[in-house]
Amino acid sequence: MFFPLTVRDFLDRAVTVYPDRVAVVDEPDQPAPSWGEVTYAELGRRARSQAAYLDGLGVPPGARVAIVSQNSARLLTSFFGVSGWGRILVPVNFRLAAAEVKYIVEHSGAEVLLVDPEVRGLLDTVTAKHTFVIGESDEPMWTTGGEPQPWEADEAATATINYTSGTTARPKGVQLTHRNLWTNASIFGWQAGVNDRDVYLHTLPMFHANGWGMPYAVTGMGGRHVVIRKIDGAEILRRVERHGVTFMCAAPAVVQAVLDAAKTWDGEVPGRDRVRIIVAGAPPPTRTIERVRGELGWEFIQIYGLTETSPLLTMSRMREEWDGLEPLEQARLLGRAGAPAVGVRIMVDDDGEVLAQSNHNLDAYWENPDATATALQGGWFHTGDGGTFEDGHLTIADRKKDVIISGGENVTSIEVEDALMLHAAVREVAVIGIPDEKWGELVTALVVLDPEEGEVSAEDLIAHTRQHLAGYKCPKRIEFRDELARTATGKLQKFKLRAPYWEGKERQVN
Ligand code: AMP
């Protein structure tokens, strides 16, 4: 029997098996009225109400619904209310500048756009057929109720499009199908041991690769979602204590914030021998892993993947064979990206690039056949990361693509260079990532000025980029140079420009 895999399966199971359980504890401190605690029966009702409301607006299956929001119960519900009845959810990074959001909304052809009240200013420049401010004009969407029109479930249908800063100046829309999301959520959930006693704290932005699939996996098991809107180490610890959190996913910068907060925490840090934390985005330092395990007493798990792979490719988790090793050695082993997840094949090609095959690799880049063909050449997804694959474990050592990962979010050098070049005084520019304790990598611009344009300071240039780019993409450091290293054909030699900053580092990513 063939039965299509769709993301609604996760919600349907929770509604059937755990109707009276608290599904979500919404963020109390947000500009929209908080939903407080919502049961699975109620979450199911609100998702159906949203789908029925979209029917009423005449938004057909396959249409795109964009949402620009911090973590919230409404965003979580939309993963089901939008995709579960055949529409395509486009979760957008709420930190992006208006011009960036405009591009994504237009490129995806979104008919519906919901924005968080904090970013309502976006509606001055970004338009769609139907626009809503969350917690205000969208309220009937969740409360009108009604039964949505049936959708002929299709696992090959696109469920979400996630825009990611990749290798081009413009972000690319990663098209993930129901089948992609289903297999990622199930395999990830299984390998991470997601179960009905889990209390999951959303320390990862839900827009980022659909919260790595945890909105689906945790729901399917009837676990409890605890929404957190702003990332702050002490607040994370308070919520761990208050809600009995067992599980979270985070970028290395968040782990650092928790470790810092733990230093001044009064009494025993909560969650010892209970919390497991899954980290990805950059290879965490061995010392950080040791501290998470020793000082917090939390289980440390690393994964490696990309938005394009839904994201799970490899997982690094303690295994029985390592039980007798010293903590430092265990931390070293956990510092690798890990072993391929079930159903994932990994190989490293002759250039050292990591390639992957799996059932949750992207279907395509939205309306970008050239980028799709390049990324999936030869039937393998090309990650753009450099690494080694030994003893069944992958280590990420280097990046082949011109991408900087700062605080867990991707920044394409080209988009920052483009923004700087719009300034009349900038004659040449190269943007690189340099290692940084807090951000992992610091967006750094090496700039050659045009002397005829007068005096320009680093602050002027940073302020200029703020008009075009999300704050986290703007250079944090600018260095002025007389010239930049180039090849005979005039190509920038980024590796030479990066070299002095990365000297003595074991890996060329941080
Ligand atoms: P994104 O699509 O925004 O999630 O970014 C994916 C990129 O993050 C990958 O291509 C890697 O460069 C990087 N990344 C993710 N996980 C890891 C990890 N465990 N170690 C090293 N780099 C990672």
Count Cβ atoms within 10 A of the Cβ of residue 243 and give its class: 0-12 exposed, 13-18 middle, 19 or more buried: middle
Q: Which stretches in the chain have pLDDT values below 50?
A: none
Each residue of 15-29: pLDDT tens digit?
999 999 999 999 999
What sign for the dihedral angle of Cα 12, 115, 204, 355? positive
Q: Pull the structure tokens for residue 291.
A: 């501290």
- What's the pLDDT at 166? 66
Q: Which of 181, 156, 144, 113 is nearest to 51 (CA)?
A: 144
DSSP 210: G
Task: Tell how far the Cα of 509 is from the centroid of ligand 1, in angstroms.
Answer: 10
What domains can you pick out in the chain, each with its CATH number? 33-153 (3.40.50.980), 178-341+358-365 (3.40.50.12780), 405-502 (3.30.300.30)
Q: Which amino acid is at 108?
A: S
- What's the pLDDT at 494? 84
Q: Whose CA is nearest to atom 4 of ligand 1?
A: 306
- What's the pLDDT at 282? 84
Q: Whose CA is nearest to atom 3 of ligand 1?
A: 410
CB of 507 closer than 6 angstroms to any ligand 1 atom: no
- What's the pLDDT at 365? 97
Query: Which of 385, 406, 510 to probe ligand 1 with, by most ligand atoms within 8 A of CB?
Result: 385
Q: Give the pTM.
A: 0.92
Each residue of 430-458: pLDDT tens digit?
999 999 988 999 999 999 998 888 889 99
- What's the pLDDT at 160? 98
Rounded to whole angstroms, what are the CA distances from 470 to 38, 140, 412, 418, 464?
33, 31, 12, 14, 12
CB of 383 closer than 6 angstroms to any ligand 1 atom: yes
CB of 282 closer than 6 angstroms to any ligand 1 atom: yes
Give residues with Cβ within 8 angstroms of 300, minimum separation 6.
276, 277, 279, 289, 292, 293, 331, 334
Q: Which atom of ligand 1 is nearest to the CA of 209?
A: 4
Q: Whose CA is nearest to atom 19 of ligand 1?
A: 304
Q: Which of 19, 17, 35 is nearest to 27 (CA)?
A: 35
Cis omega before residue 311 (within 30°)? yes
DSSP 53: H
Q: Which atom of ligand 1 is nearest to the CA of 314?
A: 19
- What's the pLDDT at 153? 96
Q: How far apart are CA 301 and CA 317, in angstroms?
A: 5
Q: Whose CA is nearest to atom 8 of ligand 1?
A: 281
Q: How far apart are CA 138 and CA 149, in angstroms?
A: 20
Rounded to whole angstroms, what are the CA distances from 400 to 354, 383, 387, 452?
9, 9, 10, 36
Per DSSP bridges, beta strands 199-201 and 224-226 are parallel
Task: Tell how far the Cα of 289 is from the centroid of ligand 1, in angstroms.
Answer: 17
Lateral strand order in the sheet of 393-399: 345-348, 353-357, 381-390, 393-399
- Give the residue ranges of DSSP H helices in 284-387: 286-291, 327-334, 369-375
Task: Tell how far the Cα of 347 is from the centroid of ligand 1, in angstroms.
Answer: 16
Q: Whose CA is nearest to atom 12 of ligand 1?
A: 385
CB of 353 closer than 6 angstroms to any ligand 1 atom: no
